[in-house]
Amino acid sequence: MWRIKISKTRASGVMTLIIVVLTIQLILFLFNKQEDKSLNKSLQLEKVSESDSANYAAKQIKSFGERTIGERTKIRIAKTTAQLPAKSARLADSSGKWKSYRDIALENMTHARADNFKSEKRILKSIELNSADSAILVTLPGIGPYYAKKIIQYRDKLGGFADKRQLMDIFGIDEDRYSLFSEKITVDTNKIQKINLNEVTYEQLSTNPYIGGYLARSIIRFRDSRSNDIINLASLVVENIIKNELYNILKFYFH
């Protein structure tokens, strides 16, 4: 009987202990669950906060970039475009999209280069050998200051160019060099100052590259032999003093 009572007491104590343990575990479970919820909520808040901070920071950086880099770019592009003939001052193209200042500057530079090229092309096409100075002649391809000076010296010696191919009479201007600019030059024979054959001096005749000293003396002797008669280039051909080929050249320089 006594042993039965002890067994019942032990069983009751064990049950009580089990209940206490389970109660403690339940309390710990509920506490941990509540703590996990709080932690998750805190983490979510932190993520939201970090996202908002990142967005805010990105906006600030973008705003700062637009205020700083944008202003410096505008100033630099403004200086560039101010020196160029702006063909398009619009900030928006036909599609309505806004263009950057860099694009505008590049467009203006392209237009400026095209205009300069067209201008240079017009200048090169309009070069007239009997009136061009050295500053104009050096714009021809293959003609620098040296050859520009030689061309002017030879032009003065002739009295003017009758044909643009006469440039190849200048030492150094061969057919290859001449072909570089032959399409960009013209000759106006009306600008040649003709000399009266009946009044020309020996010096004037002899300095002409197509006559020289020997032929100059022959012409002077023939003129003196005719006394008061007027001579001309045709009479020099008849007297076999000059050939027809030379006549076709000299007719631009003497009358």
Tell me the pLDDT tens digit for each residue of 32-76. Answer: 666 556 555 554 554 544 455 445 445 554 554 444 444 554 445
- The pLDDT value recorded for residue 230 is 87
Q: Do residues 185 and 140 make contact, with C-beta atoms less than 8 angstroms apart?
A: yes
- The pLDDT value recorded for residue 55 is 56
Residues 201/207/211/212 CA torsion (nearest 10 deg): 100
- The pLDDT value recorded for residue 28 is 75
State pLDDT tens for residues 124-161.
467 999 999 999 999 999 999 999 999 999 999 999 99
Check pLDDT > 50 for residue 251: yes
Distance in angstroms (rounded) separating the CA atoms of residues 109 and 208: 50
Distance in angstroms (rounded) separating the CA atoms of residues 224 and 86: 69
State pLDDT tens for residues 192-240.
989 999 999 999 999 999 999 999 999 999 998 887 788 899 999 999 9
State pLDDT tens for residues 159-168.
999 999 999 9
Length of the chain: 255
* All domains in the chain, ordered by first residue: 123-191 (1.10.150.280), 202-250 (no CATH)
Distance in angstroms (rounded) separating the CA atoms of residues 57 and 157: 80
Q: Do residues 137 and 155 make contact, with C-beta atoms less than 8 angstroms apart?
A: no
State pLDDT tens for residues 18-32.
887 777 877 777 766
Check pLDDT > 70 for residue 7: no
- The pLDDT value recorded for residue 69 is 44
State pLDDT tens for residues 78-127.
555 455 444 444 444 444 445 555 566 666 666 666 565 555 544 446 79
- Angstrom distances, CA of residue 214 to CA of 125, 193, 203, 207, 226: 40, 23, 12, 11, 19
Task: Please report the beta strands in the chain, taking only residues with DSSP state E, as ranges in sequence order.
Answer: 127-128, 185-186
Place of tokens 């398009």: 88
